[in-house]
Amino acid sequence: MRGAIVGLTLIIGLIGSGILATSGPQPASPADAVGAAGVPSSVPDVLVSRQLLESQDLRIGDVVDLSPDPTAIGARSFQIVGVYEPVPDPTRFSAQRLEARLHLPDMLDLIADPDDPQATEAVDAINVALRNPAEETTFSRAIVRRVPGVSVRSTTRTDRGNPFIVLEQFHLAIAIVTILASTAFLLALMVMQSDERREMAGTLRLIGLKKSRVLTQVLIEGLIIATSGAAFGIVLALVSEEGFNRFFQWRYDTALVFVRISPTVAWQCVAMSVPLGIVASVVASWTLLRREVLALIRR
């Protein structure tokens, strides 16, 4: 009995789309599958993604028909010998990863046009690991020179069209706006706090403390408050990191990590928030300390 038909992505050597048709329940063990279902031992192996296995209610040992044609013409049987978690891909995180991995010769047999002698000689991409990754540009130039028409792309693209870079810019823009708003509020709070301490500052000046001494005190206080705030912010981010990741991983059925509080990110936060806090304290207090002592104590 032929079961559900579903479109999926075939990987290994050639990347294309195909159609999967389950051929009914099969025994769980691959060995049993061959005997019980009469599947010849030459049935090639296939790995399916966890998402495909779950969505089509497949099991290891099942025999499935794969075809590159939506009408299932030229379908061939494959036996599921394993399941895998697709490599998280940020550019496809919202897509359902219905994928299967075949041996390259099996895939070429499946999708190659028999009338095209070169069809079995073509691949979509060749992955290359360089001994020295720093020589990527030299390697790229050498390949383009020797094989005209081939394009070489680094896996660590940093150009503007990279969705990752774009999202990073977007989040950076949001962070800048948030910092601007925080600065305004922080300044407002510090102005209020300074105002509240007007008489205390006047008294300190009257008993002989210099402006610089009072300002140093304010600066140290600002440093303590800003450092505590930054530390609290980082702890809050670390605590919420797990929650964010779990939610988005559940939502998109992916192993992709969406939020990672790296030491660099933490240091960036500290480097921005601590000076900002100190400056806000000093600026707010300076407006107060500029006044005459008698004005401070309202006399």
- Summarize as ranges the residues that interact with other proteins (CB under 8 A): 7, 17-19, 68-71, 93-96, 116, 118, 122, 124, 148-150, 160-163, 166-167, 169-170, 173-174, 177-178, 180-182, 184-185, 187-189, 191-193, 195-196, 244, 248, 251-252, 287
Rank residues 170 and 232 by Cβ distance to other proteins and give the closer one: 170
Closest contact distance (angstroms) between CB of 155 and other proteins is: 16
Closest contact distance (angstroms) between CB of 182 and other proteins is: 8
Q: Please answer whether residues 243 and 249 qualify as being in contact, where contact means their C-beta atoms are separated by less than 8 angstroms.
A: no
| Residues facing 83 on adjacent strands | 48
Closest contact distance (angstroms) between CB of 67 and other proteins is: 9
Q: Which amino acid is at 192?
A: M
| DSSP state, residue 82 | E
At 57, list the tokens: 């209610």
Closest contact distance (angstroms) between CB of 94 and other proteins is: 5
d(C-alpha 190, C-alpha 74), whole Å: 75
Closest contact distance (angstroms) between CB of 39 and other proteins is: 25
d(C-alpha 292, C-alpha 294), whole Å: 6
| Residues facing 35 on adjacent strands | none
d(C-alpha 10, C-alpha 32), whole Å: 26
Rank residues 37 and 108 by Cβ distance to other proteins and give the closer one: 108
DSSP 6-72: EEEEEESSS-EEEEEEE-S---SSHHHHHHHTT--TTPPEEEEEHHHHHHTT--TT-EEEEESSTT-
Q: Which amino acid is at 23?
A: S
Give Rg (Cα) of the chain.
32
Closest contact distance (angstroms) between CB of 163 and other proteins is: 5
Rank residues 33 and 225 by Cβ distance to other proteins and give the closer one: 225
Closest contact distance (angstroms) between CB of 16 and other proteins is: 8
Rank residues 29 and 287 by Cβ distance to other proteins and give the closer one: 287
Closest contact distance (angstroms) between CB of 54 and other proteins is: 17
Rank residues 26 and 273 by Cβ distance to other proteins and give the closer one: 273
DSSP 214-281: HHHHHHHHHHHHHHHHHHHHHHHHHHHHHHHHHHHHHHHT---------HHHHHHHHHHHHHHHHHHH
Rank residues 17 and 212 by Cβ distance to other proteins and give the closer one: 17
Rank residues 59 and 198 by Cβ distance to other proteins and give the closer one: 198
Rank residues 95 and 294 by Cβ distance to other proteins and give the closer one: 95
Hey, is 77 helix, strand or coil?
A: strand
